[in-house]
Amino acid sequence: MGQVHRAEHRFRWLALGAFTLALSCSQGKQEPAARIDVDPATTRSPTAAPGTAAGVRREWEARRDPADGLGHAWLEGASDKVPSYERAQPAHFVIVYEAEGPGIAVGGSLELRVPHAFGWSVPRLTHPEMPGFVEVEAPDGVTVESGVSKEATPRPMVRFQLGGRPLAAGERVRIRYASSTDVLAERGERFWISVDGDGDGQAAALADAPQIDIVAGKATGLVAFWPATAHPGERVRLRVAALDDSGNPARGFEAPIEVNKPPGVEGPQSLPASGATQTAEYGIADEGVYQLQVRTPDGLAATTNPLLVSRSAPRIVWGDIHGHSNRSDGTGPPHDYFRYARDVAALDVAALTDHDHWGGPRRLDVDPAGWQEIRDEVQRFNEPDRFVTLLGYEWTSWLHGHRHVLYFQDDGPVLSSADPRFETPAQLWAGLRGLPALTFTHHPAGGPVATNWAFAPDPVLEPLVEIVSVAGSSESPDAPRVLHNAVAGNFVRDALDRGYRLGFVGSSDSHDGHPGCPLLEGCGLVAIQTEELTREAVFEALRARRTYASNGPRIVLEARLDEYAIGAVLPPAASRTLSIRVNAVAPISKIDLVRNGAIVETIDCERRRELRIERTVRDLASGDWLYLRIVQIDDGAAWSSPFFVE
Ligand SMILES: [Zn+2]
Ligand SMILES: [Zn+2]
């Protein structure tokens, strides 16, 4: 009997708010890493997990016998509907399995994978009085040996090996599982049952795994967002959502929402009293910075992000381009992910990036139905000028670090890191060459698998790096809210020191079904500078690195070096003017200018929220790079993509 293998991603990140360590104080500036003169294919991430990679490969290569994955399973008392449960409540589940066809041979097995994280109890075979207790009941003559097992999956799994005599078609096995339910609302949470019918050690999942719905709680707060920028006279959309204390859209929300508008904002004074997500349009004739306040009669309230109305400022749109659904190790179906991104988080751009081979028995790389579902939802939600959705997945390499693949069209292949043909970043880029695609690496500085920077990012396919997510910042040891298990020398600043030209994005890496994480302090978002909101325009802007990253607050940032936008490659010059404009969400404590690996100036911002400053930058020589880091007094931060000198 092995140990229970816990979800590395989800358990840790749920609790992350409390663990943002003060690495920034304890570590100085890292020496620039030396260039590695070896074949990168023989190198590994400094935190590579070869054992996990081998397990994933074994599953990829596994032979599926026709006797595997047969039969039916359901929740006792709920055979023809999906039952609903309150969240975070103790519950007893009885899963009934009925064999069919050849049944299960002596030595064959059943496997149960329970939902993981956010409140579910880890299965145990001892201590019946404790949460998570699992017991099994088989027909006369069939013996069962149970074990909780360590597998290449983040879901805790219990294996029941059958003996004595075969389990014949029509015979049933009953499995009892006592657990508290998820704290997150979720449609279609699954108890996966896999069957090894012939006893060769390889099981396959049943298609109709028992599922339940977890319903949301009552409203405990509001969130309100509107765009970052607009031109005078343009109509802008306000979105308000009532959420429960876990960030789920609230159940049974019926209160009217009053809107407190500053002078010059034309539009409704109140929103209808029905439903957890509401929207209204406003018009603003004059240039300026505007915020709205919203409130319910019983005192739930929120303030929007700042909206910069300007004739000349470049348009900024907000995106979250890294998150997970129940198609891997996340929460809720892809449909609900995109609906939340649009209606609650009020994002302009969203990508769902489920793992190629991780999170349960429905691996994307071997299950065409999963990839089809994601493609369908991406297509359904894409609405140019309003909400751009991108097809993507996470190339989850346990040897070289995790990368996202984004496609800027309705279709694209899942090139799996478990597939020997796409095992290294270079092989992945070779497979993507010529497609409207790009890749970026995430939590590059650390766990679970830090980026193997020996592979130079492909200059066409990989223009970006995820500098911040809910796991923390990978910028540098002196960043606010540093990734808690960062590896010295593996930060984004170290990668720039190697001469890599990478623009910056932030994204949530949400596993809770809440892309854009509107309730969390310390998350990740990307601001994209694009006049048009279409896939083509977003693709062009991302490739040009016209982006900045935020760890949550929707700070409006414009920075130019003479006429060059952020992310640009520009010729050397004796002197250039850096123009910076910031509209922050909280008072700004400082702006750091980072040049060639070091902070060259820290501007004290005297706790102002709005700032326009200019600086002369001298002696810009070939190979130089320069970026800005804006830090609010609450550690909310934004990072501009660097300017690069040719
Ligand atoms: Zn990952
Ligand atoms: Zn991820």
Q: Which ligand is nearest to the CA of 507?
A: 2
Centre of ligand 2 from the C-alpha of residue 443, in Å: 9
Beta-carbon contacts of residue 303 (< 8 Å; ≥ 6 apart): 224, 291, 292, 293, 294
The region of weakest confidence among 49-63, 135-149, 274-288 is 49-63
Helices and strands (H and E) in the chain: how many: 8, 43
Centre of ligand 2 from the C-alpha of residue 364, in Å: 14
Centre of ligand 2 from the C-alpha of residue 270, in Å: 38
Residue 249 has what pLDDT? 96
pLDDT tier, 344 (very low <50, low <70, confident <90, very high otherwise):
very high
d(C-alpha 25, C-alpha 166), whole Å: 63
Centre of ligand 1 from the C-alpha of residue 456, in Å: 19
Q: Which ligand is nearest to the CA of 395?
A: 1
Q: Which ligand is nearest to the CA of 443?
A: 1
Centre of ligand 2 from the C-alpha of residue 625, in Å: 29
Q: Which ligand is nearest to the CA of 351?
A: 2
Centre of ligand 1 from the C-alpha of residue 365, in Å: 16
Q: pLDDT tens, 494-523?
A: 999 999 999 999 999 999 999 999 988 889
Q: Which ligand is nearest to the CA of 511?
A: 2
Q: Which ligand is nearest to the CA of 402?
A: 1
Does residue 31 carry a pLDDT above 90?
Answer: no
Q: pLDDT tens, 574-625?
A: 999 999 999 999 999 999 999 999 999 999 999 999 999 999 999 999 999 9
CB atoms within 10 A of CB 294: 22
pLDDT tier, 23 (very low <50, low <70, confident <90, very high otherwise):
very low
Centre of ligand 1 from the C-alpha of residue 548, in Å: 21
Q: What is the largest CA-CA distance in the chain?
A: 88
Residue 614 has what pLDDT? 97
From residue 127, give the alpha-carbon distance in Å to each of 177, 179, 585. 12, 13, 50
Centre of ligand 2 from the C-alpha of residue 322, in Å: 6
Beta-carbon contacts of residue 136 (< 8 Å; ≥ 6 apart): 144, 146, 160, 173, 174, 175, 176
What mean pLDDT comes out for the span 307-314? 97
Residue keyed to tokens 């030209």: 501
- Please provide the average confidence, as pLDDT, over all residues in the chain: 91
Here the tokens at position 382 are 């894409």
Q: Which ligand is nearest to the CA of 448?
A: 1
pLDDT tier, 68 (very low <50, low <70, confident <90, very high otherwise):
confident
Centre of ligand 2 from the C-alpha of residue 7, in Å: 12
Centre of ligand 1 from the C-alpha of residue 322, in Å: 9
What mean pLDDT comes out for the span 439-446? 97
Query: What is the signed CA dihedral for 329, 330, 331, 335, rounded to 10 degrees?
Result: -120
Q: Which ligand is nearest to the CA of 442?
A: 1
Centre of ligand 2 from the C-alpha of residue 393, in Å: 9
Residue type at 415? L
Residue 14 has what pLDDT? 33
Tell whether omega for the bond before 334 is within 30 degrees of 0, i.e. cis.
Answer: no
Q: Which ligand is nearest to the CA of 396?
A: 1
Residue 318 has what pLDDT? 98
Does residue 1 carry a pLDDT above 60?
Answer: no
Q: Which ligand is nearest to the CA of 469?
A: 2
Centre of ligand 2 from the C-alpha of residue 3, in Å: 24
What mean pLDDT comes out for the span 413-428? 96
Here the tokens at position 530 are 């694009």
Centre of ligand 2 from the C-alpha of residue 474, in Å: 15
Q: Which ligand is nearest to the CA of 470?
A: 2
Centre of ligand 1 from the C-alpha of residue 450, in Å: 10
Centre of ligand 1 from the C-alpha of residue 189, in Å: 21
Q: Which ligand is nearest to the CA of 325?
A: 2
Q: Which ligand is nearest to the CA of 524?
A: 2
Q: Which ligand is nearest to the CA of 444?
A: 1
Centre of ligand 1 from the C-alpha of residue 530, in Å: 27
Centre of ligand 2 from the C-alpha of residue 104, in Å: 36
Centre of ligand 1 from the C-alpha of residue 563, in Å: 37
From residue 306, give the alpha-carbon distance in Å to each of 282, 293, 387, 559. 14, 11, 20, 17
First to last CA, the chain: 59
Beta-carbon contacts of residue 584 (< 8 Å; ≥ 6 apart): 306, 553, 555, 609, 610, 611, 630, 632, 636
Q: What is the DSSP letter of 64?
A: P
Percent of the chain with pLDDT over 90: 79
Q: Kindly write down the DSSP assignment for every residue of 406-464, as one continuous string.
A: EESSS------TTSGGG-SHHHHHHHHTTSSEEEEE-STTBSSS---TTSPPPTTT--E
Residue 25 has what pLDDT? 28
Q: Which ligand is nearest to the CA of 397?
A: 1
Centre of ligand 1 from the C-alpha of residue 529, in Å: 26
